[in-house]
Each structure stands twice: as structure tokens, then as C-alpha cells.
Chains A and B, each alone.
Chain A
Amino acid sequence: MKLERSAHTPRRAGDTGTLWLAGVLAGLWLVLAAVPGTRGVFLTQANLATLLVQSSVLLVISVGMTLVILIRGIDLSVGAGVALTGTVAAMLQLHCGASAPVAILAALAVGALLGAWHGLWTGWIGVPSFIVTLAGFKAYRGGALVLSGAKGLSPMSAGFEQLAGSIPTGATYAAVLAVLALGVGLTLRDAQRRKQLQLAPLTSRVVALRIAVQVALAVVVLAVFGDRGMPVLVVIAAAVAIAGVFVTRRTRFGRHLYAIGGNPEAARLSGIDVRKTTLGAFLIVGVLTALAGVMLAARVNGVTPGSQGNLLELDAVTAVVIGGTALGGGRGSVIGTVLGTLVFSTLANGMNHLRVDSNLQLIFTGLVLLVAVGLSKGKRP
């Protein structure tokens, strides 16, 4: 067989789509930097930092949403879940005097319970996740209002203020360099493992390219946050995104998600536990919802149970879909979702700078969603 020679690193469906999207993002940034309407503030340190902070809550939700959409599901309850978990944390603080860590852990536990609840109904009872989480969409908002007596909860206590702050410059450098070292290490280890098992080696060009991309990312991040420290919200969002990429690409659970989304029957007949994997995906979204709930409460320094997290579920679906994940499941990536979220936030940020009327912004965002998906149709097999 001639396979020996022609075997190379498996192509990943979506690689071209991801590159394309990265190009779109870069293009958007350049255009926004150049147009006079933004008065040259777009590509400044301060604005990029704001942009990333504004993206962080949506990003955390969207990473979770990617997992459930990959298995042909959806979670419409995340916006209401953000309100409910935020309310739980705020109530514990304001009325029970709980410390921030306790309040946060309680919120995360509630999120996990909600996720498990969705997973059980979807996986075991077989109700479509659209319905299960539509029920949650109603119920959790109601729950937040009932718990709080429909009153706004603020301000959050000291522990939360730290969440809204930044980590020191030294820690920022340490964190970025540690992640970079991890990335480079993994790349080199991959190359090493392939050699060891006598697989077609990664060419030094590929290795160099991967490392170059990682270094470039680190440089950009340090350029933005190096002298002011990285906001804690961005640290959390970045950690979630990196974990999401790792889980989907490198873990058994992640591979199972793609298999189930591609063909649930074949996955089941291959011995994959479809129900447990489904439960796992919803559990993760639940926890990430709670994390986002805590992050948002910290950012706005309080919880408005009636409106906190409104429309977040649809913004997340928008970001995931712009990111190239198919609503029909089986195709997509967390990297795409990260780019999709950034494109989404960039548009919002850019339109604010251009002083576009907020009502017009809604119309424009809708059109962008359509056009993005329409354009990328041709990019995918």
C-alpha cells in the first residue's frame, strides 16, 4: 500500500472554516481601526481589554452551548439559568452573610443540578432538549423572581469585587507564559509521540507554524494586558475556552460527542454510552451557566432577577453558529466558537463606537448571522 507515504496528520473537518473565520475577525478589526467613525480608539489597549471583558460571559456560555449543539441538542435555559444561579449567590451573600467562595460554590452546585436535570430528561426520558430547556427557560426565570421576591440584589460583597478586578501584572505574565509553555510542550510531545510510533512525522514546518501561532497569541494577550494585568473574568473565560478545546479534541468524552452528533445509532452500536455522554454535556453547560451567572453578577455588581442574562441563550447560539458548528450536530469546534463569540462581540463593540442606534444594531446583528452562515455554507463539505 502506498499509504505509508501519503499518510499525514488527519485533516480536521472545519479547519478551513476556522481559518476563514479568523480572517474575518482580523478583517473586522482592521476595518474598525481604519474607519474614521471609531476615532482611532478601536485597536487601543483599553478598548481591546473592554471588548474581551464584555465577551467573557458570553464565551463561557457559548463553549458549553457548543458541546450540546455538537450532540444535536440545544440549551435554551442558559439565560434564565444565569439569573437563577446569580440570584442564589447574591441571596446567600446578602441575606445569609455567606462568604464569596461559599456563595460561588452554591451557585455552581445549583448549575450542576440544573444540567443534570436536563441530561436526565433528554437522555433517559427522551424528551427533546429543545423542550426540556424551554421549560427551564420559563421556570428558572420564575425561580429567580420568586426567590428574590422580584427585587434587585446588590451590591455584591468584597469577594465578588475581586472577580471584577484584575490579576497583578506578574501573575499575568506567569499565566500567559505557563499556558504558552503547555501549548508548546504538547506540540513537541505530539511530534515526539508520532516519531516514537513511527507515524508520518509532523514536518518541522507544521511544528514551527503551530508554535508560531501560540507565541503570536501570547504576544497579543501580553500586549493588551501586560502592563495593566489581566481581568479575572478574562482569565476565567480563557481557561474555560482552553479546557473546552482540550476536552473536545483530546478526550474520549469529546470524541464521543462528535460520534453521537454525527450518527447516534452508529455511536450506540459502537459501545458508546449515549445517555451518559448526553448527561455529561448538559452537566457541563449547567456548571458553565452558573459560572457565567457568578461572573455577570460580579461584573454588574448585582443581580436583576427579571432581566439578568436575557437573550443570552440566543446570543450564545448565534456565536456558536457563526463559529461554524452545525445545528444538526457532529460538526464544529470550540475554537470556532471562540472566534464566533469574538466576531459577535466585536460587532457590538464596533457599532457602539460608530454610534449606531441600538435598535439598528439588532437588525444588523440578525443580518450578520444570516450572512455568516450563508457564506460559510460553501466553505464546508
Chain B
Amino acid sequence: MKASLKSIGKTFPGVRALHDVSIDIADGEVLGLVGENGAGKSTLIKILAGVYPHGSFKGELIVGGKPARFGSTLDARRAGVAVVHQELALVPELSVAENLMLGREPARFGLLDREQLEADARAMLALVGLDVELDVPVSELGVGVQQMLEIARALADRASVIVLDEPTAALTDGEVAALFALVRARKSEGASFVYISHRLEEIAALCDRVAVLRDGELVGVVEPSVDLVPLMTGEHVHVSRAREHARARSETPVLEVDHLRVAHPSRPGVYVVDDLSFTVAAGEVLALAGAMGSGRTAALSALFGTARSGFTGTVKIDGNAIAIREPRDAIDAGIAYVPEDRKAMGLVLELSAGDNLALSSLARLSRLGVVDAARAEHAALTRVRDMSIKVPDLGAEVATLSGGTQQKIVIGKWLDLEPRVLLLDEPTRGVDVGAKAEIYALVEELTGRGHAVVIASSDLPELVRLADRVLVLREGKLAGTLEGEAIAPLAIMQLAVGHAVKKASYEARA
């Protein structure tokens, strides 16, 4: 037995985060850990990682056969527990090598041994099979590569228990395959993993057993082949894989984009979106697919007026050409945008749920600049009820809410404005299954009411589920369009990478 959690319980003021959870992690196994947001996964991991020190929780922790009393994360690391957190902990300005060796820089009398540092960093990269320049600042790398660097850092500790918290959220399929190969290799050497993911197909492909948490309690430890969704939600929320075609689609385009070109923010002559044209009709869901950096996000943010170096091309809403220089212009024209990174760009974490919901419509809620607080609250309450946003009350700080709830707030803040076009970037990233289904239902409801939706996503089942048409981008250019029955994960993948994907390599995960 590598590690055991015995009757773990943890309460925060007013919240019981965990209650009597006992899990064993066997030698050389990959244990899946699933549950909706707020089920207690993060708390459990933080206890294992020493973030919550011994004494601040109930129960006992046994690592390597000995009772573990971690006072800090450093204690946990020394005992062989390494955690790759969902949020990246890299210093953007430092180089790849400096980041990999952060906190363990080789030095003599305080003087940095740069050569040794590079050599060690190179060895760590070799460990994860990653090929990047050692001296580039991390900020110039894609999120996927950054994530792999984090993983390299954890593996280099020669940890015996490695916790991976949503490691694939930002990875391309190629990188996911590489990660899985790595995990399997280390597992065969005897290392144990705890693998947390919302992507159940990954759990099924990688894990030996799966522990399911719900409302802070362990529902059970099951075979990965079991249908996990009912266990996680406690009810039968079924995310339909079949697309529903019954939509009030009209032929008149709401949004017309012609020859959209977006320049690379720092490299002149390079275009992150290169000559993209499309239309979206009322009631239609158009999807933009493609690998990371293929131009999905760049296209959406350009349409919302946030492209740093601007864009060329024409954009029409309901046939009227509009000039989009900044978000205000887009909003005034009836465009709403739900950005990829909700914490950095969608929410004001310091403010309450109610204040966040009112963020975009304060102009409508005020007279002569004075906000009608009662009306704002009424509007927010209506939104909370209609969208079943799970908040204790409007005063709840959004920072404390689950990912799914936060995402509904980011979407909800636009709905008062009745936007003609809704741009959604990764609308369900880091969102639990139940909330995912509700967001899908919301998209369908909005299109049913005649809104046009453009969605960018790396979640292929999501595209299959929602999209009427899929534009696949590759290096900023349109690689192909899929429509109706032709929309399938494999077809999207093939267009995205530009050559035939071996069916097996994808199916192995799917």
C-alpha cells in the first residue's frame, strides 16, 4: 500500500467539505478521483499534499506504511507525494530551465551553477520526452507545454505518489497521448498516481480504479468501466451524445464575417487568423475547432474587439457592417463574449455573485448614473432562478463558487442585454458533468429563441453534441467545414492535424 487516507474529515466555516473518507492507493496503480465541482476532490488532494497541515483535519494519513503528519507541502514532498496543480505555478518571465529548477537551483556558496542547472533541466525534459529550448521564457510557450513542464517538475522529484489535478485541460490530443504513455511507464516502475479529471473517457482509458466523491463523502471505489455520471450526480443527468436537430434555424445570417485576418501580437507578418469567412444564422450553433493555437480563440476575441494588434476584414450583424475597435463596440452591436479563462477575464473574483451578474448591464439598471440596487438584485435573482445558478445568496463571493456556477454567472451577465450573437470560448472547461449538461441546455434554449452562437472548444464530444456546423482551423487558416452527420471526433481531428489520424490512437482514449 503506497498511501492510505483513513476517515478523513474536514470542515470549513459553515461547510462540511469532507466527511469520513477512506481511500487506499495501491502500489503501481492509477486511481481515478472524480466528482462534481465542490464534491471535495481539491480538499482531499490538499490534505494529501500537506496544504492543510496535520491537525487541521480529522482522520489519519498513512504514506509508505508510516503515519504521516505533514506540517507543510515541503513535508509531503519529502515523503514522496507530488502534486501537479490545475493552476499553473510557473514564473512566466523565467526560462524553461529556471522554472524546472525553481527552488532546487544548484549553487555553491550561493553562486548559481548555471551549467549544472541546464544539465539537470535537460534531464528533466528528457524524462517527459519534451523538446523545447531551455532558455526561452515560459510565457512564450503554449499552455499545453507549460503544463508538461509542471508534470516534469513533479516527476523529477522521484515521488512515489503523484497527484495529477486536471492535467489535460489545456493539452492537445498528441500531448495527452504522451502524458498517458509517461504515466503508464512510471506506473510500471512502481509509482502510484491519483488522477483527477472531468473527462470521463480519460478516466476510463487510464485508471485502474475510480474513487467517486459526492458532497464530501465517498460514494464508492469502482471499476472504471462503470457509468460514473449517476454516481457523481446522485441522479440520472444524461449528457446526450446525439445531436438534436430540432432547432428554429432560419436562413438569414445574423453574423457575417468576411476575410477576417488577425495579426500575431508580436511577430510581424504572421497571422493567427488568416482569411477566415463565415456566417452564422439565427438559431444556429457554429463551432470553431482546431488544435491549441490554431486561431479559434484569436478569432473570437478579435470579433469582440480585444485583439491586441487589431484585425482586418468586415463584420456584419443583421446585414449592417460594424466597426469593432474595443469590447464596447462589439457589445453595442449585440455581441456577447464568454472568454476562455473565466477567472482571469470573465469574473471579478473580489465581487459578489450579484455584482458580477450586474456587471454588463449596470447602464440599464441605473438612472442618471445611480444604480437602482433593488432592481439590480431583482434582475440577478431572476437570472439565478432561471439558470439555476447554485449560490447560497447573491452576496456570495464568486471566488468561493464551483467552476460550473462561476461559468453560469459569466454567461448570465450577458443575458439581460439579449445579445444577437453569443461567442463562447471553452464554455465547459473545468465544469462538472451536471453543470455541463445545464450549459448545453442553455445554449439550446438560446438558439431556440433565435440567438446565434459561435463556440470554440477543444472538447470534441461537446462539438459533436452542440454544433450545427464545425469550421476546423489549422494554423489560422480554414482547414475544412463539417456539417450534419459528418461532424465526428475523428473527422475533426483529421482536419485539425492535417493528416489522417490513426483511428486507434484516438479511440484508445475515447
Chain A residues proximal to chain B, CB less than 8 Å: 1, 3, 6-13, 190, 193-194, 196-199, 250-256, 258-259, 261-263, 265-273, 330-331, 381
Contact = CB atoms under 8 A, between A and B. Distances in A.
15 contacts: A1-B384, A9-B395, A10-B377, A12-B395, A190-B373, A193-B374, A250-B370, A252-B369, A258-B348, A266-B347, A267-B359, A270-B359, A271-B331, A273-B328, A381-B397
B337 A330 contact: no
Given A10-B394, A262-B348, A330-B348, A1 B366 contact: no
Contacts of B371: 250-252, 254-255
Contacts of A190: 373-374
A258 B349 CA distance: 11
B373 A250 contact: yes
A12 B220 CA distance: 40
B214 to A, nearest CB: 19
A252 B359 CA distance: 10
Interface string B457-473: 00000000000000000
B50 interface: no
B413 interface: yes
B312 interface: no
B279 interface: no
Contact of A269 (B345, B349, B362): B345
A11 B348 CA distance: 16
Among the interface residues B348, B375, B378, which one has the most CB atoms of the partner chain A within 10 A? B348
Nearest to B344: A265
A274 B37 CA distance: 33
Contacts of B366: 251-252
Contact of A199 (B370, B377, B391): B377
Contacts of A193: 372-375
A283 to B, nearest CB: 15
Interface in B344-358: 344-352, 354-355, 358
B359 A6 contact: no
B306 to A, nearest CB: 7
Contacts of B350: 13, 258, 261-263, 330-331
Contacts of B392: 6
Interface of B: 304, 306, 326-328, 331, 337, 339, 344-352, 354-355, 358-360, 362-363, 365-366, 369-375, 377-378, 381, 384-385, 388, 391-395, 397, 413
Nearest to A328: B350
A197 B348 contact: no
Contacts of B365: 252
B364 to A, nearest CB: 10
A266 B345 contact: yes
Contact of A267 (B348, B375, B381): B348
B210 to A, nearest CB: 31
Nearest to B353: A10
Given A7-B381, A193-B373, A198-B378, 10 more contacts: A1-B384, A190-B373, A194-B374, A263-B345, A263-B350, A265-B344, A269-B346, A270-B413, A330-B350, A331-B350
Nearest to A268: B327
A268 B330 CA distance: 12
Among the interface residues B326, B350, B391, B395, which one has the most CB atoms of the partner chain A within 10 A? B350
A1 B392 CA distance: 10
A255 B374 CA distance: 15
A255 B328 contact: no
Contacts of A254: 371
Contact of B349 (A7, A263, A271, A273): A263
Contact of A258 (B328, B355, B372, B393): B355
Contacts of A255: 355, 358, 362, 371
Given A269-B304, A271-B328, A3 B393 contact: yes
Contacts of B359: 259, 266-267, 270, 272
B388 A1 contact: yes
Contacts of B372: 193
A266 B352 contact: no
A261 B355 CA distance: 14
Contact of A262 (B349, B374, B394): B349
A197 B378 contact: yes
A106 B393 CA distance: 49
Given A199-B374, A199-B378, A3 B351 contact: no
The 8 A-B pairs at the shortest CB distance, nearest first, are namely A10-B395, A11-B395, A193-B374, A262-B348, A262-B350, A330-B350, A197-B378, A271-B331
Nearest to B330: A271
Contacts of B306: 268-269
A252 B363 contact: yes
B408 to A, nearest CB: 13
A7 B328 contact: no
Contact of A256 (B327, B362, B381, B385): B362
